[in-house]
Amino acid sequence: MKKGFTLNELLIVVVIIILLLLATFPNLKRQIDKAYDARRKSDLTMIRRAFEEYYNDYNCYPALTILSPCGGSQLQPYIKEVPCDPVKKWPYKYIAQDETNLCKGYRLFAALANTSDPDIPAVGCSPISGCGYGVEWNWGFAAGGTLTAPGFDPGAVPTPTPLPAPGQYACDPNGICNSYGNPNASGCPVTYNQSDCNNACGNPANRCLQ
């Protein structure tokens, strides 16, 4: 007769396995984040190339709504399908250098998950406060100007500001306050109960994705 494992021995083995998994999980998550970030960088490189080809054809850059909805064909023939963030499935952020003249240049952002990536400070952004257009948008490309917002200090720690009372109004991608039936479905970062959106639509970080 062979003697099997006792309950205490089995529990010890299970505990050891759990501890090993916990020890390796942070490193595994970092590697996964890096892989997704490589995809994000590749997507933005492809979008930037498409924008430059578009500019060569039309002497101007595409409309600010061109990346939304992502997954669409609105950038053909330059891109077969507009890429989405590989995890959150939302469009990448696209802002004009000069809102009165889109032909002067643009800013294009991705939200990198690995905040220790040296490419973030290399472009003048911060892993904590982003590039000045929302803390999540922390890396990207620019044409015709700087990537970061005017006066942005990557060393400054952002201070939380009180959120306005939520409501049905939100800033659309063009910076106009509109009424939304379902702001969450349109990717609105903040909503308002005032029809003027508390005059906050001048800040691109407050605008909906759709």
Domain extent listing, the chain? 31-143, 169-206
Helix (H, G, I), strand (E, B) or coil at 96: strand
Measured in whole angstroms, the distance separating CA 87 from the mean position of its chain's CA atoms is 10
DSSP lists the bridge partners of residue 143 as 106
Tell me which of 151 and 6 has the higher pLDDT. Answer: 151
This prediction has a pTM of 0.66
User: Which CATH architecture group holds 31-143?
Assistant: 2-Layer Sandwich (3.30)
Residue 185 pLDDT grade (very low, low, confident, very high; cuts 50, 70, 90): confident
Residue range 67-124, pLDDT digits in tens: 988 999 999 999 999 999 999 889 999 999 998 899 999 999 999 999 999 999 999 9
pLDDT of residue 155: 82
The whole-number average pLDDT for the span 1-28 is 70
Instruction: Say yes or no to pLDDT of 159 above 90.
Output: no
Q: What are phi and psi of 65, to 5 degrees?
A: -90, 5
Buried b (16+ CB within 10 A) or exposed e, 11-43: eeeeeeeeeeeeeeeeeeeeeebeebbeebbeb
For residue 126, count other CB atoms closer than 10 A to its CB: 21
Buried b (16+ CB within 10 A) or exposed e, 190-207: bbbeeeebbebbeebbbb
Instruction: Say yes or no to pLDDT of 203 above 80.
Output: no
Exposed (0-12), middle (13-18) or buried (19+): which is 83, by Cβ within 10 Å?
Answer: buried
